Chain A
Amino acid sequence: MKITRGQVEHVAHLARLALRDEEIAEFTGQLDAILAYVDKLNELETDDVEPTAHVIPMGNVVREDAVGEGLLIEDVLANAPGRKDRFFRVPRIL
């Protein structure tokens, strides 16, 4: 597995991270090393092993269809970078 500079740029763009040139080079090397390490798992014979669905062996955790209390508007907007009346305010989208 060889991670390329292009792949790092692509993933950084998807995550909306602005990376400097030297950071791209650094992360390319790091990611490559991490994946090479994880690649060790491919040496194992796993044909007869059921894929793990979840690390906690349980299923069907559900709730009833009942309405509960929400938050007060002041708490909803407390950490918002911007607000107007009851709305979150963000840079114009359209």
Chain B
Amino acid sequence: MAYETIIGLEVHAQLKTRAKIFCGCSTEFGGPPNGHTCPVCLGMPGVLPVLNREVVNFALKTGLALNCRINPFSRFARKNYFYPDLPKGYQISQYEHPLCEEGFLNIDVDGEQKRIGITRIHMEEDAGKNVHGEPGDPYSYVDLNRTGVPLMEIVSEPDLRSPREAAAYMRKLRTIVRYLEVCDGNMEQGSLRCDANISLRRVGESALGVRTELKNMNSFKHVEKALEYEVRRQARVLNEGESIVQETRLWDVERGVTLSMRGKEEAHDYRYFPDPDLVPLQVDAAWIEEIRASLPELPDEKMQRFMTAYGLPQYDAEVLTVSRELSDYFEACNRAAEAPKSVSNWIMGDLLRECKGDDEALAHCPVKPEMLAGMIRMIEQGTISGKIAKTVFGEMLKTGKTPEVIVQEKNLVQVTDEGAIAGLVDRVIGDHPEQVAQYRDGKEKVFGFLVGQVMKASRGKANPAAVNKLLKEKL
């Protein structure tokens, strides 16, 4: 039986504000347990939450970047449930009037662009953290430092049709929130979390099938793997003539399977109602325009500009604009080198191999943009060969010295003086009579070997074009 996969994602992004959403406690990660708490986030009686304006700014930025409609009237609601990490017995969230609605973002999968709808973006507070003791310990332990840390929940339409599209959507979303500097996007540490709703339906049918909700996928790879597993599992259940149970399932990283979280699914009954402690939020046109004016150039626009302004292929433009840091590196380097394709090649090849797509590593990389630019200029001017440049790059990485200093210290300047090269060519011809004879008999392939020998004799410094020319002449 052929099925179509339907996926919608709910993403929680931790906002990078200094203080919590409704009180002045620090949002810093990893403080001493319960060290960042106060009567408000502890849920003590008689306190009043007051909204952190920056949380609204960050959510507005994201809403605008994701082409959403900003609701002029929005308010907070209480979502009621009991759990030890939720001291008030309710989470302050948004329900009927979220801040942003009806947006979209574009993803690229296999060279095809696809628009994915955004249903809504709302603001809410995070819960605390439960720590479980050794097996046999009858207690659990609660740290409320994370309680009240601002979150933004971004809900997509069920527009994703494969696990790959879901992963592409997550990557794009991460790129955007990082460009906006509203979230650090770290999935492993939980500052970007993803729940997925997934169902299958027979090809050609229009009604949606029964869905399951997947949780606990803390990397892009796991999002894709968990969804792939769930597609196979649901297809198997349906093929056996059984029906899918609507339930929450957890991704088990170790075993690579999804497992039912509850034996018997209880319908959620959160009894949302407007939080009387918080007054409504009104966002007028002036506020929206202020935020719009503060938006940076976004990944899609930047990619287009890299293609038109620098003449880069789409692939290069996409790789270079995956983060602001990397695109800034490219532009700084190219300003000095003025050779976009070469700069792009060196960044995508040697530099990213060292920095492994990690912006932290890029920031600490000893090879600064001006250094790479200096090296590329030396190649363009014929001072060093592309081969020698690999050595120079390795030295820059190791020592942090400028390419000019390295080339001088190691005496790596390319030899273009024909007299010097001619001497090496003569020596190689003299040392390899057999190969020379073969070449003269018409075995053209031997030529490459002889060029190699001359280059080796010059320790890579001879100008390859000059070597080719002189060798041809002398043979």
Contacts and interface: CB of A to CB of B under 8 A. Distances in A.
Interface of A: 10, 14, 16, 53-56, 58-71, 73, 76-77, 82, 84-94
30 contacts: A53-B73, A53-B75, A53-B280, A58-B279, A59-B279, A60-B281, A61-B279, A62-B51, A62-B53, A63-B50, A65-B17, A66-B18, A66-B19, A66-B24, A67-B19, A68-B19, A70-B25, A71-B37, A71-B39, A77-B34, A84-B141, A85-B33, A86-B33, A87-B33, A87-B131, A90-B141, A91-B138, A91-B139, A92-B133, A92-B140
Contacts of A90: 84, 139-142
B138 A86 contact: no
Name A's interface SS.
Answer: loop
Nearest to B32: A86
Contacts of A55: 276
Interface in B49-82: 50-56, 73, 75, 80, 82
Contacts, number: 127
B279 A60 contact: yes
B56 A65 contact: no
A55 B54 CA distance: 26
Contacts of B54: 64-65
A92 B75 CA distance: 35
Contacts of B282: 59-60
Given A62-B53, A70-B25, A70-B36, A88 B144 contact: yes
Interface in B337-365: none
A7 to B, nearest CB: 11
Contact of B279 (A54, A70, A91): A54
B143 interface: yes
Interface in B68-112: 73, 75, 80, 82-84
Contact of B26 (A62, A67, A84, A88): A67
B32 A63 contact: no
Interface in B7-25: 17-19, 23-25
Interface residues of B, number: 50
A70 B205 CA distance: 56
A61 B140 contact: no
B26 A87 contact: no
B443 interface: no
Contacts of A66: 18-19, 24
A25 B306 CA distance: 72
Contacts of A61: 50-51, 278-279
A60 to B, nearest CB: 6
Contacts of B82: 16
Contacts of B37: 70-71, 76
Interface string B269-287: 1010010101111100000
Contact of B24 (A60, A68, A82, A85): A68
A65 B140 CA distance: 32
Contacts of A94: 130, 132, 140
Contacts of A86: 32-35, 143
Given A65-B17, A90-B140, 9 more contacts: A14-B271, A53-B75, A54-B279, A65-B19, A66-B19, A85-B33, A86-B33, A92-B138, A94-B132
B332 interface: no
A62 B52 contact: yes
Interface string B202-213: 000000000000
Most chain B Cβ neighbours within 10 Å, of A68, A70, A92: A70
A69 B137 CA distance: 34
Contacts of A14: 80, 269, 271
B34 A88 contact: yes
A93 B129 CA distance: 12
B280 A67 contact: no
B42 interface: yes
B238 interface: no
B38 interface: yes
A55 B277 CA distance: 11
Contact of A73 (B34, B53, B56): B34
Contact of A63 (B33, B52, B80): B52
A11 to B, nearest CB: 9
Given A54-B280, A92-B139, A68 B73 contact: no
